[in-house]
Amino acid sequence: AHVDRIAQVDADVHAFLHVAGEAALARAEEIDRARAAGEALGPLAGVPVAIKDVLCTSDMPSTAASKILEGWIPPYDATPVARLRAAGLVPLGKTNMDEFAMGSSTEYSAYGPTRNPWDLTRIPGGSGGGSAAAVAAFEAPLALGSDTGGSIRQPAAVTGTVGVKPTYGGVSRFGAIALASSLDQVGPVSRSVLDAALVHDVIGGHDPLDATSLEGPWPSMADAAREGAASGSLAGVRVGVVKELNGSGFQAGVRQRFGEALKAMADAGAEIVEVEAPHFEYAISAYYLILPAEASSNLAKYDAVRFGLRVDPGGATTEQMMALTREAGFGPEVKRRIILGTYALSAGYYDAYYGSAQQVRTLVQRDFAAAFAQADVLVSPSTPTTAFPFGSKTADPLEMYLNDVTTIPANLAGVPGMGLPIGLAPEDGLPVGLQIMAPAREDARLYRVGAVVE
């Protein structure tokens, strides 16, 4: 049914860069046979899943939506993908994204944008617009994304889906094409909180192949979601409203739905408290130094020698070949960030830019610690606005960056965050998202609270 649905709607939505098609059907039949033979299968066995193209897959191209990796098939699966396969889930294909996960609209994909299924003239968010659109358009019930500054939560918000960025280190980054290694996390996209929890339980947990992977044990996220849904109660839960993430620049309908969500939480027994996070206003500035710095280093490996695109006119020096390849293979946003990052890291500027940004990062972490002393979870709108029209933020890169104001703090601090739908904005009929954040390692709290709000 999902393969058919993709054939029906993906010419319009363009959520997929690669559709597994026959391979997916063959795998589904294999699972059916195993089930018929009485084999013990996990709860998600046979369920299709779409995979963001930033994750390595040994049987499908993995391009991170860049020309520099066009057609590249990695020699191994990313750990989250391997774990999904082992649990019997069926990969449906690879989803579109902003090139190397840099962006908030999927307009920076080298293969053309994904369109928002709610309104094809609008962006599906980014960088993981393909995964969110695939789930919203019923092309896939589940998807994987990656979130470095909001790329799971923001697309979820503008497509009316659920998306979770786990605690940093909670899900392996092995085989995830790196953007900014101290910020990147892989996580689930789904249509319900419980669905996301079931995926989280499969992909999460220690992986010796990722040096930043946290040791277990982790509680069951699915149990937490079921518990929340069954009790429907938030009695004893202190919900902190982050003053700085609910500003006057937010769209009226977003603020209205957010206010209603707070009321619903209070009605369910939560104690609503206002918390302050005075350094969050500097989070975007710090992020857009730290991210380009790390990205410029991570992207140095696309050198025309080891793998990927090679532009070699013959007679060129190695250095010229590298320059020509990177010139042809990277899009403008990627180049912008590489230049920004190498500048911020260069001698003489390092302390002023990268060093200061790291200090701000510590201040953001302290804000979280202080806020979590007053509240069990923190909430904000997932995004300042609903899905914006194509082209409305591409002329000015800063405009695009500002869209991440709500989501970036969690990445800087490594804490988990969930985005879930809380209705449509009255003025445009488009989905609005609620962001819930919890202290590091307390991901289960997101699922428990999210299942009550849902």
Query: Which residue is at the shortest CB distance from ligand GLN?
Result: 151
Rank residues 265 and 354 by Cβ distance to ligand GLN and give the closer one.
Answer: 354
Angle, CA 146 vertex, CA 246 and CA 309 arms, to 5°: 130
Q: Which of 62, 66, 131, 151 binds ligand GLN (CB under 6 A)?
A: 151
CB of residue 404 to ligand GLN, shortest distance in Å: 5
Rank residues 376 and 404 by Cβ distance to ligand GLN and give the closer one.
Answer: 404
Q: Which amino acid is at 176?
A: A
Please report, as residue ranges, which positions from 286 to 325 form the binding site for ligand GLN (by CB under 6 A): 291
CB of residue 24 to ligand GLN, shortest distance in Å: 26
Q: How far is CA 52 from CA 129, 189, 278, 340, in A?
A: 9, 10, 34, 26
Upstream peptide bond of 127 is cis (omega within 30 degrees of 0):
yes
C-beta of residue 235 within 8 angstroms of C-beta of residue 265? no
220 Cβ contact partners less than 8 Å away, ≥ 6 residues apart? 197, 201, 444
Q: Does 149 bind ligand GLN (CB under 6 A)?
A: yes
The beta strands (E) that lie in 60-161 are given as: 90-95, 142-147
Rank residues 93 and 163 by Cβ distance to ligand GLN and give the closer one.
Answer: 163
C-beta of residue 382 within 8 angstroms of C-beta of residue 437? no
Q: Does 412 bind ligand GLN (CB under 6 A)?
A: no
C-beta of residue 204 within 8 angstroms of C-beta of residue 222? no
Please report, as residue ranges, which positions from 174 to 193 form the binding site for ligand GLN (by CB under 6 A): 179
Site stretch for ligand GLN (CB under 6 A), options 15-23, 97-105, 298-306, 420-428:
97-105
Q: Which of 99, 294, 404, 442 binds ligand GLN (CB under 6 A)?
A: 404
CA torsion 265-270-273-274 (nearest 10°) is -20
Rank residues 123 and 262 by Cβ distance to ligand GLN and give the closer one.
Answer: 123
C-beta of residue 138 within 8 angstroms of C-beta of residue 4? no
Q: Which of 28, 60, 90, 101 binds ligand GLN (CB under 6 A)?
A: 101
Contacts with ligand GLN by CB under 6 A: the residue count is 14
Q: Does 102 bind ligand GLN (CB under 6 A)?
A: yes
Verify whether residue 52 is a known catalytic residue: yes
Site stretch for ligand GLN (CB under 6 A), options 142-150, 200-208, 217-225, 436-444:
142-150
Verify whether residue 285 is a known catalytic residue: no
Q: Which of 192, 187, 150, 189 is nearest to 170 (CA)?
A: 187
CA torsion 126-130-133-139 (nearest 10°) is -170
Q: Does 147 bind ligand GLN (CB under 6 A)?
A: yes
CB of residue 336 to ligand GLN, shortest distance in Å: 11
Q: Which of 447, 372, 445 is nearest to 409 (CA)?
A: 372
Verify whether residue 243 is a known catalytic residue: no
Site stretch for ligand GLN (CB under 6 A), options 96-104, 170-178, 258-266, 414-422:
96-104
Catalytic residues: 52, 127, 151
Residue ranges binding ligand GLN (CB under 6 A): 101-104, 127, 146-151, 179, 291, 404
